[in-house]
Amino acid sequence: MTGVTTRLVAVADAPELAAVLTANREFLAPWDPVRGDDYYTAEGQRAHLEEVLRLWATGTALPQVILDDGRIVGRVNLSNVVRGPFQSANLGYWVAQDANGRGVATAAVARTARTAFDDLGLHRLEAGTLVHNLGSQRVLERNGFQRYGLAPRYLRIAGEWQDHILYQLLAD
């Protein structure tokens, strides 16, 4: 995908992100934690972005937007960045319904993995998907992630503790 890029989020992205999230609320609901109505507002996104940018400033996260031909269509994030002998982070992402199935997430994950390994010097990325989220599993597998386990009741998604398939990608 030539038009897909990623960049660090900015607080100024709050209105556009709120609009994308609101338009995709039903589409994303099966894959997301239950969120309050304020999360879908520009003010709610502004507060959320301020928090994730504080984490970025401490070096424990890399919060990005996914752009398709300059338009925000999702987010891709590194979180729980751990240094020392671990040099690892968790990877998470979502894309809007109209960007789904077109390689947008695959391209964004590829860019983020390169950044994690080449620029941040990380050794390992981990990602988890719901057992029935075949699309997300394909995104990870296309990027070289290897399945390594099943985590029972791993995250509270759509209001229920749900099992996740765990994937990892190593720098070497």
Q: Kindly report, residue by residue over 126-162, the tens digit of the pLDDT.
A: 999 999 999 999 999 999 999 999 999 999 999 999 9
Alpha-carbon distance of 67 to 71, in angstroms, equals 5
> For residue 161, which amino acid is it?
W
pLDDT at residue 172, rounded to an integer: 86
Low pLDDT (below 50) residues in the chain: 1
Q: What is the mean pLDDT of the chain?
A: 97
Torsional class of 139: left (φ above 0), alpha (ψ -120 to 50), beta (otherwise): alpha
pLDDT at residue 1, rounded to an integer: 47
> For residue 130, which amino acid is it?
L
Domains of the chain, first to last:
4-170 (3.40.630.30)
Strands (DSSP E) along the chain, which ranges? 4-8, 62-68, 71-82, 88-95, 124-130, 146-157, 160-170
